[in-house]
Structure 1
């Protein structure tokens, strides 16, 4: 009786909820226990949105650059002398005292001997700076437009797309695969990522609940059910090269959010656009 009351409560919440992900997630929990969905009607699928975070800061826009210049000018006009500037003033006073003693030739008193001056420090810093070569913002992968390289577009977040055969056509999608008996949807997502992209890819999954939902219908001739309910799980890319499984994923690429529209269908873009945020 307790189980029936819990399932009824979940169903009521799902019907009242306007949030599609919550409603479908509650249906997923019930279907996994055999309470709602007819077996074979809809296939439960886990997909992984594997995202590589930006490595370097993004270029400033024209407005941001104007604001930064204004703030730098205001800081310069209202700032106090730094320790280096105070040290330079002190060096000038010591040098003036030394010259005065040399002119008087009295030899009275002692002026500080060998001293590392502010000018000496600036010369040393300048020499050290000349030996440093900053990393280029445009990488070799950018120059070659190598979309298989995770080293491209270092100032933008990238997501991994794989080319999978869904039905009778190939589509660019996030790595996805059907849930197997006895595993949770999160476990299915972890397994799918390793099977399709190789054991070398390190990823940090963000939570046990899906971040998005998508569904599509199978061709009429398909014998595996009506369609697929895809639950997306977000993960941060940590390390490793993608080694695709040639049988299930024939190709892969790392793309920016703006480039997704060049490869994915409109319904798919609408579903994943609900949880992709370019900060």
Structure 2
């Protein structure tokens, strides 16, 4: 009986509301106030997930020493010299110097000299050869200006980048691919690396987890076409190991240029950290720099 009575009361209230225009107006104002105080939630950005590869080539020769390294090396050399004993070469060198001095002062006869070439003459000759070699050593080669040559800048670490066409813009990026269905992030990174692989070097990714992360917004034209606000890049680290044969053959020759089937890839380059900073956007460069450090 109580349930039936409550149902009758509710039906009666509804009938009075719809039959009275004033109550309908109050109800309309109440709904408007509710909509103003609680606006509809905004749609979240739609991001395209991508995997990028920071492909680096390690220095081929030892980098130049810093000033503090040179000072420390000289300190160690001086300590070793002071704490060491004379070698057989140094003992013979000192004996020959004393003998020559005695001959010059007349204390001994020139026939007492028992050697044809003194150790001092041999040392002077070797010092002259070393000086000539250091002066003839070239720090700058012709192919250092060729950004497509993987053997350029032998003392520096290089990073491989590509120029991509995004809408009407041309931007430099790391090798990047969009993730496909039923594909892991590392598989996507390996696919991006396989597109840019060459016979001149072998490359492999270090780990299953990315080494850095970066996201960016697409240009307006690209956003309208692909219905995506931007891309989130999961950056993996990889090392390019140059072939010894390729290094010897291509050292003074022009390397084989890579060709891409993707029309969006316009160009590629092997650049140093300073050159990379000039081509990438500041936040993008900071994400890549964390891998190079």
TM-score (norm 2): 0.60
Q: Is residue 238 of structure 1 aligned with residue 225 of structure 2? A: no
Correspondence for 1:155: 155
Structure 1 unaligned blocks of 5 or more: 1-37, 92-102, 104-116
Q: Is residue 222 of structure 1 aligned with residue 225 of structure 2? A: yes
Q: Residues 94-116 of structure 1: CA distance to partner in whole angstroms, max 9, x if unpaired? A: xxxxxxxxx9xxxxxxxxxxxxx
5 Å-filtered alignment, 1:166-245, equals: 166-198=166-198, 201-218=201-218, 219=220, 220-239=223-242, 243-245=258-260
Q: Quickly say closer, same or farther: Cα 1:181–1:84, change in 2 above 3 A.
A: farther
Q: Is residue 141 of structure 1 aligned with residue 151 of structure 2? A: no
Q: Quickly say closer, same or farther: Cα 1:47–1:83, change in 2 above 3 A.
A: farther
* Distance in 2 (alpha carbons) for counterparts of 1:150 and 1:197: 12
Contact 1:46/1:230 (8 A) holds in 2: yes
* Distance in 2 (alpha carbons) for counterparts of 1:150 and 1:51: 10
Correspondence for 2:270: 254
* Distance in 2 (alpha carbons) for counterparts of 1:263 and 1:199: 26
Deviation at 1:60, TM superposition (A): 2.3
Q: Quickly say closer, same or farther: Cα 1:204–1:156, change in 2 above 3 A.
A: same
Q: Residues 147-178 of structure 1: CA distance to partner in whole angstroms, max 9, x if unpaired? A: 22122221111101110123431111111111
Select the structure that is richer in helix.
Answer: 2
Deviation at 1:235, TM superposition (A): 0.5
* Distance in 2 (alpha carbons) for counterparts of 1:52 and 1:261: 17
* Distance in 1 (alpha carbons) for counterparts of 2:164 and 2:199: 18
Q: Is residue 62 of structure 1 aligned with residue 63 of structure 2? A: no
Q: Quickly say closer, same or farther: Cα 1:200–1:179, change in 2 above 3 A.
A: farther
What's the C-alpha RMSD, in Å, of the aligned pairs?
3.9
SS at match of 1:149: coil
SS at match of 2:291: coil
Contact 1:194/1:201 (8 A) holds in 2: no
* Distance in 1 (alpha carbons) for counterparts of 2:79 and 2:237: 42
* Distance in 2 (alpha carbons) for counterparts of 1:199 and 1:75: 47
Q: Quickly say closer, same or farther: Cα 1:229–1:192, change in 2 above 3 A.
A: same
Deviation at 1:63, TM superposition (A): 3.4
Q: Residues 108-147 of structure 1: CA distance to partner in whole angstroms, max 9, x if unpaired? A: xxxxxxxxx996xx79x96xx88xx7874432223xx222
Q: Quickly say closer, same or farther: Cα 1:170–1:87, change in 2 above 3 A.
A: same
5 Å-filtered alignment, 1:16-31, equals: none
Contact 2:54/2:238 (8 A) holds in 1: yes
SS at match of 2:226: coil
